[in-house]
Structure 1
Amino acid sequence: MDKNSVPDFSTPMSKPTEVINKLIAAFRTESTAIETKGKGSVIDLQLANGEPRVILVLEGALNIYRTADNLRFVRAAAPNLFGMQGSPFRYSLYQFRSEKGAVLESLPYSRAMELVGERRLFKEVLDFQTYLSDFLAYRTNLLISKSTYQIVCAFLFELEMMPPEQRLRTSVFNYIHEHTHLARSGVMKILSDLRQGEYIDIENGKLIAILKKFPRDY
């Protein structure tokens, strides 16, 4: 490892919680509860008649998996919104699964857009869509044409940004593997080397802290 330089990892804008809450408040005037069957329940972004709908994540989280290979794209914690694009193609690429205890509501996409117009929430929609677009670009940039080392370091940064109570329940290897499908041997060697170099503190497979800047090269 080159100890004199650090990797350049760009991260997307922070989640616009205030904007999301404002949109949710408007949509909840007409949304209805979604019944789930517990952890892993698949949440369809279409109503029974085929009409697209907007999903409100009020408590807990949805896990979003890429349909093609079951790769976990992201854990989307409350408050959050899905279905705002109204694009069947986009959402056919992913599967949405609720976590145990998640509280979800929905309303038809057409009515959600009417509420946006009635309440003049166009800027809020644009700000939220910008955030989603940036996050998608970040994930694409992270996983394409990057070395295993760069990907592992980026996901360690993600883990560090989690609330401590969530991070300390999360296996470092499982988190990286679910989001990347990288080989266990390669990931474990990098984690071992970073730990031996005192770059990270891991106990019982959980990330305690990143102790110093990672080297650029491995």
Structure 2
Amino acid sequence: MTIPTRPDDSMQCLFSALEPVGSEIKVIPRKRMSWEYKGKPQLYLFMEGEISLVRVTDGLVVASAYDPHIFGLGEAIQPKRYHILRVEKKSRILAVDVENALKIFDEQNLWRDVSTTLAYFNAYLVYRDEMVLQQRTYSVIRSHLQEMIGLPLEARLNTSILDYIRLRTHLSRSSILNVIFVLKTEKHIEIKRGGFLVAINNLPEKI
């Protein structure tokens, strides 16, 4: 199971088209964002910082973004509210009215890039489901450790392994810590004081 490939070229095309008409908004860290701004549906261009996509029903973190990203494409076309956005730390975010965005997509013939980006989002949700719904506790933890090591070092040193996995799964604190203890003891992973992931040396298929 591998993480879907991010369509950087298509996302950059959308960013280039939408950024000139975006309005920067101020959001307090840890605040949840609405898909509407001043009563109008929005797309959000996440420029820098950290933001998470959270499932409405149980607060499970579906994904976190640290690089430029675009949110709200699916909601613009099918306005369901299964997820919300939560800003994790000081971030730079631009809001774009959906009505204006759709006109730009038409005028600049960007629907192929929109479709490519939406296909990536859909594939990522399937990937996340596979990670979370695996039956074996170790397999779930192993997958999340592999995901964590791909994050920027700053992000890894700001979120402990325990917090990262608990926010994204329904695994108990004790089951996570037990596995992490074994992996650390057997030197499969390197952890900084406080439970922060520094390095992965080798993750066995099972323990």
What's 2:153 paired with? 164
- How many residues were matched structurally? 204
- Distance, in Å, in 1 between the alignment partners of 2:67 and 2:101 is 19
2:21–2:96 Cα contact (<8 Å) kept: yes
- Distance, in Å, in 1 between the alignment partners of 2:165 and 2:106 is 41
Percent sequence identity over aligned pairs: 26
- Distance, in Å, in 1 between the alignment partners of 2:197 and 2:32 is 29
Q: What aligned pairs does 1:1-218 form with structure 2 within 5 A after superposition?
A: 10-36=1-27, 38-49=28-39, 51-85=40-74, 86=76, 87-89=78-80, 92-204=81-193, 205-212=195-202, 214-218=203-207
Q: Deviations over 1:144-170 (max 9, x none)?
A: 143111110001001111122322232
Residue aligned with 1:137, SS: helix
- Distance, in Å, in 1 between the alignment partners of 2:161 and 2:89 is 21
2:131–2:144 Cα contact (<8 Å) kept: no
1:72–1:179 Cα contact (<8 Å) kept: yes
Aligned-pair CA distance for 1:67: 1.5
Residue aligned with 1:57, SS: strand
Spell out structure 1 runs of 4+ moving beyond 3 A: none
1:39–1:101 Cα contact (<8 Å) kept: yes
Q: Deviations over 1:138-193 (max 9, x none)?
A: 00111114311111000100111112232223211111111113111111111111
The one-letter code matched in structure 1 to 2:200 is I
RMSD value over aligned CA atoms?
A: 1.6
Higher relative contact order (CA 8 A, sep 6+): 1
Residue aligned with 1:28, SS: helix
1:142–1:151 Cα contact (<8 Å) kept: yes
User: Structure 1: which 5+ runs fail to align?
Assistant: 1-9
- Distance, in Å, in 2 between the alignment partners of 1:18 and 1:57 is 16
- Distance, in Å, in 2 between the alignment partners of 1:78 and 1:106 is 17
* TM-score, scaled to structure 1: 0.86
* TM-score, scaled to structure 2: 0.91
The one-letter code matched in structure 2 to 1:46 is E
In the superposition, relative to structure 1, how do residues 126 and 148 fare at CA in structure 2: closer, same or farther (>3 Å)? same
- Distance, in Å, in 2 between the alignment partners of 1:203 and 1:102 is 26
Aligned-pair CA distance for 1:194: 1.3
- Distance, in Å, in 2 between the alignment partners of 1:178 and 1:199 is 23
Residue aligned with 2:135, SS: coil
Q: Deviations over 1:98-155 (max 9, x none)?
A: 1332111112212212111211222211221121111101001111143111110001
